[in-house]
Copies of this chain bind each other. A is one copy, B any other.
Amino acid sequence: MRKLTIVGIGPGDYDGMTIRAVKALEEADVIVGYTVYCNLVKPHFPDKTFISTPMMREIERCRMALESAAEGKTTAMVCSGDAGIYGMASPVLELALEYGVEVKVVAGVTAASSGSALLGSPLSGDFSVISLSDLLTPSEAIEQRLECAAKGDFCIVIYNPSSHKRKDHLRRACETIMRYRSPETVCGIARNIGREGERFDIISLKELAESETDMFSTVFIGNSSTRRIGDRMVTPRGYSHE
């Protein structure tokens, strides 16, 4: 059976890829992906055929990858972070039966993990991952999830905190969470993880509400026990330290 491999490339730098991801791209003849992600891997796999499409053309991109695989070409599709977390694994799996193509997913390091490593260890307790993008999820559902995660004292990771069209989404999310959690809650922003300009900020929830973020930012909101230790953001696991 023809096969398509969906590869999570991690935050963006070569060292952030798994060995399995590198091998899958080495074995591929054709690499398909969003232009930005193709450009990240191209320097390391210069002899491959790249097929890239701009943002917002996700289904077209999935179909191009499935067609390439159906033609018998060894094809890999690249996603940033993990292929299964707000990635392309799901739309490809929904379409694959149509093309008679078997899909293999290669996991990658998602921004919850790579951003956490940069900040310290904010996710050592139970946590929830929520995207603020309302392109595919109704904003009422996002609002309800923010409330539930805040009530449950989950650490919260926010993907897609803002875009040109949704400048105030993060502020509104913080206001929702502040109904259940102190404005002094320790929060973090990881920016440009694994890319040029990588840096992090540790601030309060109140300050986060007024912060600027972009599509290369991942936001971490601590739970009730999260603390700043030195210059890092840490959620204690609860061990006694004798």
Instruction: List residues of A whose CB falls within 8 A of some B CB.
Output: 8, 10, 14-20, 22-23, 58-59, 82-87, 89-91, 93-97, 103, 105-110, 112-114, 116-118, 120-131, 136-137, 141-142, 144-145, 147-149, 151-154, 229-230, 232, 234-242
Contacts and interface: CB of A to CB of B under 8 A. Distances in A.
Given A93-B232, A116-B84, A152 B153 contact: no
Contacts of A58: 239
B131 A128 contact: no
A84 B18 contact: no
Contact of A84 (B122, B236, B239): B122
Contacts of A236: 90-91, 94
Given A82-B117, A84-B117, 8 more contacts: A83-B117, A90-B235, A105-B121, A107-B109, A107-B116, A126-B130, A145-B154, A149-B149
A124 B90 CA distance: 6
A94 B91 CA distance: 41
B123 A241 contact: no
Contacts of A239: 58-59, 91, 136
A163 to B, nearest CB: 17
